[in-house]
Structure 1
Amino acid sequence: MIVWLDILTPKQVYFFGELGQRLEARGHSVFRTTRHYREVDELLSRRSINATSVGRHGGASLEGKLAASAERIGQLSKVINKLKPDISVAFASPEAARVSFGLAIPHYTVNDSPHSTAVARLTIPLAAKLFSPAVISKRVWRRFGASPEMIVQYNALDPIGWLRTFIPNPSVLSELNLDVSEPMVVFRVEEAFASYLLGHVSEQKSVTIPIINQVINNHENPPQIVVLPRYAEQIQVLRAVFPRQVTIPQNVIDGPSLLFFTSVFVGAGGTMTAEAALLGTPTISCFPRDPTIVEKYLIKKKLVYRENKPEKVAKKIQQILANLDDVRKSQREKARNIKSTMEDPIEVLVKEIEGTF
């Protein structure tokens, strides 16, 4: 069987990287496509995953997104028409969904983000099956055109797919010149170019910058601070605001390993917040809109603390660092117990894919 995987984000590099390996180990042929996007390009290279780059990221504007998507559909259609895969799998990729529908290829979409309404509306109606964590009710997906019969739920959050066999690599610390014996606070900036955050944030208007300033001002000897940007524009802004006080990696690093060794993680997105929480790292979410369904689940399980006000986030960080050993021990035990109840989402996909033919 030929399986086409479309990989668009860092999360998908991990998730579909694992899925592709499993499918190939079972004798299937896997063809991977991606688009030009800084973090994905670097992460694919770092993980030695070969993917054909088709098209580009559309940037922050609606017009840019539309133009890039339209161009990519045309480019992909030529590539995929020659390949003639038996099935396509993507994480809410409008281009993969449209090309698959146009070429009569069964399309499976994976989605844990109903708050991203634009891509859900563009992909779910064209999919044969929708895969989603069971914490998201089937009812949520009905408004996007999903029938109950097409929805396959798994009792897990998506990061479990790559964290089940994860072994932290301490080399990330030397790569960033960090001292594991000293407190370390890691920030992940928001997805400034996402359609669901348009008008709320931008590369110039970040929710994390005031929090970082507050943390620096609250400590006579501030902890080690690492800020993980998504786009080149964010790197420029962050380095202008923090020329010396924080570490801002120029290139993509081993995110899961860094999160494992982190004292406190502050996330303005979704995937790394879930990763950190499931690794048992003390985690604070400052996501700039209402909590997502996945975030609400993690808050309910007491794996994530939710706060947006800079002074309150800084105070919470201080409280955690003052009792770090006890807090970390408690969080890792909670995470371990919750992970033990979750199934492997990758295996669910493999069985469904193989069951199609």
Structure 2
Amino acid sequence: AIMFYSLLNKFKREDAELLITARDYDSTFQILDDLNISYQKVGKHGGEKLEDKLETYIHRLAELFPFVTKFKPDYFITFSSVEGARISYGLNIPSIGYNDEPRNVPVCKLLFPYLDKIIIPACVPEQLYINLHANPNKLITYNGIDEIAWLSEYEPNPKILEKHSLEKGKFVIIRSEPSFASYFIDKLKPEESLISQFFPPIFTKFPDLKYFLIVRTEKQEMFLKKKLKNYINNSNIKIARYMPDMVDLCYYSALVISGGGTIVRESSLLNVPSIEYFPGDSAPQEHFLIDNGFPLLHIKECEEIVKKSIEIISSKPNSDRFNNSFKEKIKKFENPNEICFNFVKDNLID
């Protein structure tokens, strides 16, 4: 949702009519509401069971269809809506999509054949997309990663510190894994999180810091509250399913730890020490960030997460930690929203 915000503004400045739809997934609705974006709620995430995933796909396809036929769009833009891509193909509506996650094999196999163009980071091997039925002639590559789309225009807001009674570099952000996602099946139970294992020793070492434990589902929240029952009543610990202004919180934090890629990619682009504990191989985007000198580590073992976290928190922040030096580094790379906007605009004019 946050990725499309700057893209929507580009089209609005051109007086384009927009139909924005979103499904109930993670914090999508909350983010759109916080950004005051007008949108239609259509469908939800299918959860962890294959039967539920298929059933919700069928329902969302049926719910989305009348919105599209009534609006009659000249172009369809998506960040991996299988239902939207299928409808645009069936109605012969030109389409373009973003995709930076070919590891999500089931979704990609259903998505790629229907899209006319797919914008992908150059750091992700094209063959991964071709293996999932993407036509190589449809791929548009760019030098960067998706998170640059919104961080290129980001301005830190220090008011977030006062709002949560925080000090710069005196709190830690920890984000749970998307354990219900299709690529996590057989790796973790949907309600579980490794936070329950590595958080206690970090907190014990630094009990005076504040900690935000951001979970993805109610099940994860219940799981952590049970596993961390000896800690959760401490005023320095907050467990939540959603926190507004997450980018600001990351920017001013001492450390960001996450089981998924987006938040640590954001935070490392902002020059924040970041640890990803995704149980699989490092994604090409993580290699891109590391190779370009951004402060990101991928650590899978809980003991090593604890060890490295203690080392980072014990160190003093770099001199450029809380200034805008990150902007100059980001400017060296391409913005996928600029690519998408210019491509669609040029094709509509033609």
Shift of 1:247: 1.1
Contact 1:214–1:311 (CA under 8 A) maintained in structure 2: no
Distance in 2 of aligned mates of 1:332 and 1:308: 31
Does residue 272 of structure 2 align to residue 299 of structure 1?
no
Q: Is 1:54–2:35 an aligned residue pair?
A: no
Residue of structure 1 equivalent to 2:340: 349
Distance 1:166 1:302 in 2: 20
Partner residue in 2 for 1:231: 217
1:103 aligned residue (78, 91, 96): 91
1:227-249 Cα offsets, whole Å, 9 max, x none, are 11112222222233242242113
- Whole-angstrom distance in 1 between the partners of 2:27 and 2:15: 30
Q: Give 1:145's aligned residue.
A: 133
Residue of 312, 317, 320 corresponding to 2:312 = 320
Amino acid at match of 2:178: E
Matches within 5 A, 1:3-22: 13-22=1-10
Report the 3-state secondary structure (helix = DSSP H, G, I; strand = E; otherwise coil) of the residue aligned with 1:156.
coil
Tell me the distance in 1 between the aligned counterparts of 2:247 and 2:169.
19
The CA distance in 2 between the partners of 1:61 and 1:324, in whole Å, is: 45
Match of 1:7 in 2: none
Instruction: Please point out which of 252, 255, 259 is paired with 1:261.
Output: 252
Aligned to 2:153, what secondary structure does the other structure show? coil
What does residue 74 of structure 1 align with? Answer: 62
Where do residues 127-146 of structure 1 align in structure 2 (5 Å cutoff)? 127-146=115-134
Identity over the aligned pairs, expressed in percent?
26
SS of 1:319's partner is helix
Indicate if the aligned counterparts of 2:144 and 2:335 stay in contact, CA closer than 8 A: yes
Task: Mark the CA change 1:135 to 1:30 in structure 2 (over 3 Å): closer, same or farther.
Answer: same
Which secondary structure does the structure 2 equivalent of 1:104 belong to?
Answer: coil
Q: Say if 1:182 and 1:224, in contact at 8 Å, map to a contact too.
A: no
Counterpart-to-counterpart distance in 1, 2:324 and 2:52: 45
**2:77 alignment partner AA:** V
Consecutive unaligned residues in structure 1, runs of 5 or more: 1-12
Asked if 1 retains the 8 angstrom alpha-carbon contact of 2:2 and 2:32, the reply is no
Report the equivalent of 2:193. Answer: 206
Determine the structure 2 residue equivalent to 1:276: 267
- Whether 1:125 aligns to 2:116 is no
* Letter aligned with residue 184 of structure 2: L
Aligned residue number for residue 45 of structure 1: 33
- Partners of 1:233 and 1:93 lie apart in 2 by 25
Aligned to 1:243: 232
SS of match in other structure, 1:35: strand
Structure 1 residue 222 displacement after superposition:
4.9
Post-superposition Cα deviations, 1:327-351, rounded to whole Å, max 9, x if no partner, equal x737989855541311222111011
Q: Over aligned residues, Cα RMSD in angstroms?
A: 2.1
Name the aligned partner's letter for residue 324 of structure 1.
K
Matching residue's letter, 2:13: A
In structure 1, C-alpha distance between the alignment counterparts of 2:328 and 2:153, rounded to whole Å: 16
Relative to structure 1, the CA distance from residue 322 to residue 285 in structure 2 (aligned partners, 3 Å threshold; closer, same or farther) is: same
Q: 1:108-146: CA deviations, max 9, x gaps?
A: 111011111111111111110000111123222111222
How far apart are 1:171 and its partner, in Å? 3.5
CA-CA distance at 1:203 after TM superposition: 4.0
Distance in 1 of aligned mates of 2:284 and 2:180: 21
Counterpart CA distance in 2 for 1:195 and 1:172 is 34
Q: Which secondary structure state, in structure 2, belongs to the residue aligned with residue 31 of structure 1?
A: coil
Question: Deviation of residue 250 (structure 1)?
Answer: 5.1
Question: Comparing 158-167 with 121-130, which one deviates more in the overlay?
Answer: 158-167
Using the size of structure 2 for normalisation, the TM-score is 0.91
Cα 1:30–1:333 shift into 2, 3 Å: closer
1:197-241 CA distances to partner (integer Å, 9 max, x unpaired)? 112123432122211122123x16353211111122222222332
Gaps of 5+ in 2: none
Residues 156-185 of structure 1 deviation map (CA, whole Å, 9 limit, x = unaligned): 21111111121122333344x342156211
Does 2:76 align with 1:88?
yes
Number of aligned residue pairs: give it. 342
Instruction: Quote the residue 2:178 is aligned against.
Output: 191
Q: Is the 8 A contact 1:93 1:123 kept in 2?
A: yes
Aligned partners of 1:89 and 1:109 also within 8 Å: yes
Per the TM alignment, residue 324 of structure 1 is displaced from its structure 2 partner at its CA by 2.5
Secondary structure, counterpart of 2:27 in structure 1? helix
Would you say the 8 A contact 1:263–1:324 is kept in 2? Answer: no
